[in-house]
Structure 1
Amino acid sequence: MKIAEITSRFRTRQGIPAGVWALGFVSLLMDLSSEMIHALLPVYMVTVLGASPLAVGFIEGIAEAVASITKVFSGALSDWLGKRKFLAALGYGLAAFTKPIFPLATSIGWLVAARFVDRVGKGIRGAPRDALVADIAPPHLRGASFGLRQSLDTVGAFLGPLLAIGLMWLTADHFQAVFWIAVIPAFLSVALILVAVKEPERPKKLRQIRMPLHRDELRQLSASYWWVVAAATVFTLARFSEAFLILRAQSIGLALALVPIVLVIMSLAYSLSAYPVGILSDRMNRVTILIFGLLLLLAADLVLALVPDTIGLGLGVVLWGLHMGVTQGLLATLVADTAPEELRGTAFGMFNLMTGLALLVASVIAGALWDMAGAQGTFLGGAAFSVLTLVILLSIRLQLSGQEPV
């Protein structure tokens, strides 16, 4: 049976297209590979290579910022070409071909280079892939489609650390062996997008975009879109890299081989919540759901700061994962709702640039707080940013709510 025929069977009663399912499984496989590595990388950098928590925060922030900056140009290029799949496949391919660098790296410099190139691949694929989901999904199922892709993506994100735990046990904490095994699903991801994802024809009614990043084109992005970007940016300042969840687990004395369980728990909560929230967002006010997601983040920060034991760690990580599931697919849906169809790639690129830079700032601040005040200071700082973000979101709720389905 052909792969395209198999993926067509994944349609739901609601009619979510097979292409969205296929992109979800592409993301699942790549995240499986990436998280097998990234679940161990912060501890590997600190315990084996001697990096400081501040260095971890800086490296993680820089890596995500590089991805976000790249998304601007790849998104704009997809609008100029009128094609999304080629760039998405290129990004997945680049990420796959850089995975062997991780087991071969012998210094922090090599790991920085590997993370840099890997995140360039993520940046190339991100905006065109999200725009492709928006192109494929019918408008009345847009929230469910983004939620589904995000949910499948996150299945890989919790299976990856789970495999890392088992492999660390089987290999007696041999980091490089686990990193080599992680190469396999990355290449399967590339094969799947090449074979199973069919890009829809560009509607003839859409105007041709010559210079997507020119100010005249950026002016075509509505005020509502820019409100979404502003809200997402301040929201991202309230959270930081999940690497600090791993360091928090280490700080309370969790065994080295069990540290990746943090990402397993977080990603499981993320995965189980993203799709139902996506369906819900097609039926009610999306900004209200976004505010609820921020309250979950505030609760997670307070628990992680004030309950320094395994129970507090588990509860805090679950709340963190639920906040991600409630907010991340929803923010992508809001971008698709408010951006012109012919500029969706550019819109997703600008959105990811701003949130990526915010994540860089947030991660560096988190690392500095950890060095100065320990884990409690880092998560209390995150809680303070969450309160500030809540005030800002409430103040712009009326501007966004007029564009939301209720």
Structure 2
Amino acid sequence: MKYISKTVWVLSLVSLFTDIASEMLYPILPIYLKSIGYSILFIGILEGITEVVAGYGKGYFGHLSDVTDKRVPFVRLGYAMSAISKPLLGIGQAPFVVLFSRILDRIGKGVRTGARDAILSSEATPTTKARVFGFHRAMDTLGAVLGPSIALIYLYFHPQDYIFLFYLAFLPGIIAIGFTFFLKERTTQSIQTNLTEGKNSLFSFLSYWKKSNSNYRKLVVGLLVFAFWNSSDVFLILRSKEVGLDDHQVIGIYIFYNLVYALFSYPLGVFADKIGLKKMFLLGLGIYALVYLLMGLVQNPILILLAFFLYGVYAAATEGISKAWISNVIPNNETATGIGMYTGLQSISSFFASLVAGSLWFLFGAPVTFIVTGVVAILVFLYFFKVKIGEESKV
């Protein structure tokens, strides 16, 4: 833990409490929406729209963070917006209320992501990036264990009483905002010229693609092809429900997945710093393909449990690793733009992924949805296996 600074701890605690709030609601939201009459296709479209909003925000505000040489204000505002969005879900069942709440939450994520990840990157060296991002992911995902656990306990005593949880989720969100006031701004003392030249328009962050180096472009191309088929975890939750698990079991298996994710994130980050980020990411992709093939082919609850265990290992081997990898192939003072643009396009790709998954499920059923996604993951694995991408950053 000697590589984990005070700033990394603070950001990790902020993410911990924010995820307690978010994940208290995430596994029950699709179940709740379905219980009040919304179709799986609507849920897929809702998730897709909110991801597009988050995607644009990640790109725009990440670029703005680099241009203004500021990090903390974006982090603080972003987490505040997400906290405020939680109780709005309890106000009503109308589609525009649900949509507004989800969009506000995703805008908050867009505002904070690039700036937060740039701070994390600045707190590490190229040889410790994976463990720093891994530690942050571990704490973030611990919130995804505690949040659903709170929901599970509450629903045990109050079955199908979802509304109160929307209000309860506001409390950890407020705690998260409080921790952001322990962050101190540390300027880079140098703003990259090629980020500030020309007009700073609403879509100026997209121009970074031409200005970035070839390693960044090769890496992001592969990641985005994968993202285009990597649909929302909502579909994994719905698949578990379809094979016969009840609400408590579905939430329980989701908690189990996040526990595995949290426990493996830091150790796999340390291991990735030793063996190379590419090798670890390939391992994660291979596991992902196996998970989706299993989810498409099996009906046994025990095998579904195994699939969620492997899914947790996949997430630990790829989520933080991909950001660490990106931050190692671009200049330090372009980190928020580089990660922001990637995560932005990733979110937009997720819109299409959720739309495609919802459509495939609606037309052909769950097995086809998961098997097709698993095959695409194998193709992306082969791309990364063949393409040479460096890992060294150049300041």
Rounded to whole Å, the distance in 1 between the matches of 2:208 and 2:25 is 39
Root-mean-square deviation (Å): 1.9
Against the structure 1 CA distance between its residues 281 and 309, is the aligned structure 2 distance closer, same or farther, given a 3 Å change threshold?
A: same
1:160-171 → structure 2 map (5 Å cutoff): 160-171=147-158
Q: Secondary structure at the match of 2:160?
A: coil
Corresponding residue of 1:59: 46
1:267-286 → structure 2 map (5 Å cutoff): 267-286=258-277
Match of 2:252 among 238, 258, 261: 261
Deviations 1:62-100 (A, max 9, x none): 212211111111111111110111101110011111211
Measure how far apart 1:249 and its partner are.
1.6
Match of 1:38 among 5, 8, 26: 26
Against the structure 1 CA distance between its residues 207 and 107, is the aligned structure 2 distance closer, same or farther, given a 3 Å change threshold?
A: same
1:362-401 → structure 2 map (5 Å cutoff): 362-396=353-387, 398=388, 400-401=389-390
- Say whether residues 1:83 and 2:74 are aligned partners: no
Corresponding residue of 1:210: 196
Corresponding residue of 1:199: 185
Rounded to whole Å, the distance in 1 between the matches of 2:27 and 2:250 is 8
Give unmatched runs, 5+ long, in structure 2: none
Against the structure 1 CA distance between its residues 274 and 402, is the aligned structure 2 distance closer, same or farther, given a 3 Å change threshold?
A: closer
Match of 1:21 among 9, 27, 31: 9
Rounded to whole Å, the distance in 1 between the matches of 2:83 and 2:265 is 26
Question: Residue type of the partner of 1:40?
Answer: I
Question: Residue type of the partner of 2:248?
Answer: A
Corresponding residue of 2:241: 250
Corresponding residue of 2:101: 114
Question: Residue type of the partner of 2:196?
Answer: R
Deviations 1:24-64 (A, max 9, x none): 1100100110011111000111122x111121111112212
Measure how far apart 1:337 and its partner are.
0.4
Measure how far apart 1:131 and its partner are.
0.8
Against the structure 1 CA distance between its residues 383 and 204, is the aligned structure 2 distance closer, same or farther, given a 3 Å change threshold?
A: closer
Corresponding residue of 1:3: none
- Whether the 8 Å contact between 1:75 and 1:128 is mirrored in structure 2 is yes
- Say whether residues 1:95 and 2:82 are aligned partners: yes
Deviations 1:154-194 (A, max 9, x none): 00012111111111112232100111111100111011112
Give the total of aligned pairs: 388
Deviations 1:96-149 (A, max 9, x none): 112110111222231111111110111111111101111222333211111100
Question: Residue type of the partner of 1:304?
Answer: M
- Say whether residues 1:158 and 2:145 are aligned partners: yes
- Whether the 8 Å contact between 1:224 and 1:403 is mirrored in structure 2 is no
Corresponding residue of 1:5: none
Rounded to whole Å, the distance in 1 between the matches of 2:259 and 2:205 is 41
Rounded to whole Å, the distance in 2 between the matches of 1:146 and 1:207 is 27
Q: Which segment is superposed worse, 183-192 or 60-69?
A: 60-69
Rounded to whole Å, the distance in 1 between the matches of 2:366 and 2:298 is 11
Measure how far apart 1:214 and its partner are.
6.8
Rounded to whole Å, the distance in 1 between the matches of 2:207 and 2:152 is 51
Match of 2:128 among 132, 138, 141: 141
Question: Residue type of the partner of 1:189?
Answer: A
With the length of structure 2 as denominator, give the TM-score of the two structures: 0.93
- Whether the 8 Å contact between 1:239 and 1:382 is mirrored in structure 2 is yes
Measure how far apart 1:402 and its partner are.
6.2
Corresponding residue of 2:320: 329
Measure how far apart 1:203 and its partner are.
3.4
- Whether the 8 Å contact between 2:256 and 2:308 is mirrored in structure 1 is yes
Against the structure 1 CA distance between its residues 206 and 256, is the aligned structure 2 distance closer, same or farther, given a 3 Å change threshold?
A: closer
- Whether the 8 Å contact between 1:32 and 1:156 is mirrored in structure 2 is yes
Question: Residue type of the partner of 1:104?
Answer: I
